[in-house]
Amino acid sequence: MTLIDTSAWVEALRRDGDAAVRSRVDGLLKTGRAVLCDIVILELWNGAHGEDERSKLRKITTTLERVSTTDAVWIMAHNLATTCRVRGITVPSTDLLIAATARVHRLDLLEADSHFQMIPPDIDS
């Protein structure tokens, strides 16, 4: 299963978005391997403009599986934040929470945001 980050959704939903990202999102949707988390849903709704976009979001958020933001996710997010800060890396809190959600739930993460590559991969808990 793959957690689709807000950045990938934006590319997939834009008319002029990245074709490769759009293709990956479409593939995940067609195979039933796409999942959401609460912070991605909030970010998408926060950026929605007009009824057409809200209609698309309603369909996405009511049909896809949602993984929960558990205590373990928050602990992982705190650990990621601490490790990044110690290493002199600044990553937005929302991206840390999304990365933590993917790690705790053992999901692949589809993103189009360079912040995720800044998060060290060697943090397990």
55, part of any domain: yes
16, part of any domain: yes
Residue 66, phi then psi, degrees to nearest 5: -115, 130
63, part of any domain: yes
Query: Listing from the earlier edge strand, what are the strands of the sheet with 108-110?
Result: 65-67, 34-37, 2-4, 108-110
Can you give the residue range of the structural domain that contains 76?
2-118
Residues 6+ apart with CB under 8 A from 31: none
8, part of any domain: yes
How many domains does the chain divide into?
Answer: 1
125, part of any domain: no
Say if residues 34 and 2 touch (Cβ distance below 8 Å). Answer: yes
Can you give the pLDDT at residue 58?
Answer: 96
124, part of any domain: no
39-90 pLDDT tens trace: 999 999 999 999 999 999 999 999 999 999 999 999 999 999 999 999 999 9
| Dihedral sign of CA atoms 39, 40, 41, 44 in order | positive
123, part of any domain: no
Which residue has 């990621």 as its token pair?
80
Please report, for the domain that includes residue 75, its CATH number.
3.40.50.1010
Can you give the pLDDT at residue 123?
Answer: 73
Can you give the pLDDT at residue 122?
Answer: 80
The C-alpha atoms of residue 85 and residue 100 are separated, in whole angstroms, by: 15
